[in-house]
Each structure stands twice: as C-alpha cells, then as structure tokens.
Amino acid sequence: MDSERYRNGFQKLKEIHGNKGEEAIGSLKEIAPDLSRYIVEFAFGDVYSRGALSLKERQIVTVSALAALGNASPQLKVHIHGALNVGCTRQEIVEIMIQMAVYAGFPAALNGISAAKQVFAERDAGQI
C-alpha cells in the first residue's frame, strides 16, 4: 500500500477527515483490506485529488449526494464533519438539506437535518 495513489489519497483523506478518517480506514483494513485500499486510492487519491473543484466544493457535492440517497446516514455524518473541516459553515450544511427537499424529497431533507443536528451536537460537546 505504498503506491503514489495510496499516499496521495491517504493525505487527502487526512486533510478532510483528520484522525477520524485514519481510524475508519484502519478499522476497515482489518475486515476488508482491499476495500480500504480502493477507497483511499480511487476516491481520495484519484477523485478528491483532482483540481477542478476545491475540497469544500467536493464535500458539498458529497453531502448532497449522500443526503439524497437517504440510506447512508453513517457516511453522511462523516462527510458533514468533513465538510465542516474544510470550511463549510453550519448554515451551508442546513441550506444543502433545504435544497434536498426540492430535489430528493422532504424525507431525505429531514433525515439530512437529523444527521446534521447530531454532528453539530458532537462538535459542540467536543467529541470531534
């Protein structure tokens, strides 16, 4: 796992998610090392490392997509944290969820707001 893609991806992962990203990949390695490597190399090494969008813009897109899916609450919370880590404001996160009401429906928006509320509470409690 010393490829340049892996090193670049792991650096990008840490830039967005800090120690929590490193912990998640570490725990995933125990059960699915190949999946762990694919996430780091492809998602973060190839896609997140592209230059056309900033990390903040990429996190806005990711949070929007996960909220619209409506079935990825754990990943949504991780990426809300990541969005906040790279410069999104809480109000921007709320606005993303309001926008989801139009395009993904009110249930997706409500689930997204619930995830955001939980993330905000964790951050306020110093858990992050």
Model confidence pLDDT, tens digit, residues 99-128: 999 999 999 999 999 999 999 999 999 877
Domain ranges of the chain: 1-50, 53-128
pLDDT tens, position by position, 5-62 = 999 999 999 999 988 888 889 899 889 999 999 999 999 999 999 989 999 999 999 9
CATH T-level topology, domain 53-128? AhpD-like (1.20.1290)
Q: Where are the alpha helices (DSSP H) in the chain?
A: 4-31, 33-38, 55-69, 73-85, 90-103, 106-124
Report pTM: 0.90
